[in-house]
Chain A
Amino acid sequence: MKTLTFLIIVIVSGFLAGLVHSFLNIALVEPYLDNAIGIENQRLFAQGQAQDNPQFWKQFSDYRIWQKQGSIVAGVILGTATGALFGLVFAYSRNALPGQNDVQKALVLAGILWAVLYFIPFLKYPANPPTVGEPDTITFRAITYVAFVALSSLGAFGFSRIYKRLENKKFLAFLGYAIFMSIVFFVMPQNPDPIKVPLELVNGFRMISAVTVTISWITNALILGWLWKKFQPDSVVTRT
């Protein structure tokens, strides 16, 4: 394995996928966030915790511009981080993945990781816009979310080992993972926070945020697969 080539293509593909995610987020998700934060502001005015005056809106506007710039940085950090895991798992599983070429193999693995790390946890703990989450429950929600992602990951790893050992009836590994995750789904506690904003806003936000996360996984797979095919970090030329 050419270590430096491997690290560069993994990091570059994650970085670019994160950049794509960031700009999709600015274009598609931010309007929902602005709406939700607008509701939060109205509550602050009604409760007397802030005053609806030009000074407030100037500070608020500057703060939101900074947060949106921060979200671009955060998207790149997150994309590079998940891309690092993706590249590592791809290196280990490439030979076992179905597909005619590296791009197809990367897309298959992206689909698996997207489901295990993002979408199945999303079904239990869907994304919420600002104003829905209570500050008092943040630690509890973080622990349950991490626990769910960890159980999903461990389950996928365990059943992937079983998949490799099964010569026939490989579908039993998928069935086993589905049963395991169904149990986890019903055993894990619910998100305790009530939803006090319009459901249209919440559902629209959930749908569009899921679309942007999905596109970022696809982007990562396309770039990693293409770069892998082009640079072949696992190929070493020996001369005799």
Chain B
Amino acid sequence: MVQTSQITKIQTVPIIAVVALLALFGMGYFMVGFDQGQLFSVVQGHAAYAQMNGVGYLHEMTHDMRHASGFPCH
């Protein structure tokens, strides 16, 4: 009996990969580009908006990259 191998190209992206990558994009893009305390406010409440120097912790941590990547900042 002769066994043959065939390579098939499957372009369809599994839905789990689509969801995972879109979630990764949305979360990372928001975290570095726009967060002012919203993410931590889920657990910390309103205090998350003024953790460091009157602004959110993530804002201060991502501050330099936020400017360098062209996102609005202050």
Contact = CB atoms under 8 A, between A and B. Distances in A.
Interface of A: 1, 3, 6-7, 10-11, 22, 25, 29-30, 33, 66-68, 70-71, 73-75, 77-78, 80-82, 84-85, 87-88, 91-92, 94-95, 118, 121-122, 125-130, 133-135, 137-138, 141-142, 145-146, 191, 205, 209-210, 212-213, 234-240
A47 to B, nearest CB: 16
Chain B: interface secondary structure? helix
B9 A234 contact: yes
A145 B29 CA distance: 13
B8 A235 contact: yes
Contacts of B9: 234-236
Given A80-B28, A92-B13, A234-B9, 20 more contacts: A3-B17, A6-B13, A7-B17, A11-B24, A22-B65, A70-B62, A73-B62, A74-B32, A78-B69, A88-B17, A118-B70, A121-B70, A135-B74, A145-B71, A210-B70, A213-B69, A236-B7, A237-B6, A237-B8, A238-B8
Contacts of B22: 84-85, 88
B70 to A, nearest CB: 4
A234 B63 contact: no
B65 A82 contact: no
A133 B3 contact: no
A93 to B, nearest CB: 10
Interface string B52-72: 000000001111111111111
A75 B66 CA distance: 9
Contacts of A91: 11, 13
A75 B72 contact: no
Contacts, number: 170
Interface of B: 3-14, 16-18, 20-22, 24-29, 31-34, 36, 60-74
A69 to B, nearest CB: 9
Given A67-B63, A125-B72, A138 B36 contact: yes
B14 A29 contact: no
Contacts of A75: 65
B70 A122 contact: yes
A25 B12 contact: no
Given A80-B28, A84-B21, A146-B34, A127 B11 contact: no
Given A25-B65, A74-B62, A133-B73, A84 B28 contact: yes
A239 B69 CA distance: 48
Contacts of B5: 237-239
Given A138-B36, A145-B72, A235-B9, A68 B64 contact: yes
Nearest to A119: B70
Contacts of A82: 25, 28-29
B12 A1 contact: yes
A190 B21 CA distance: 32
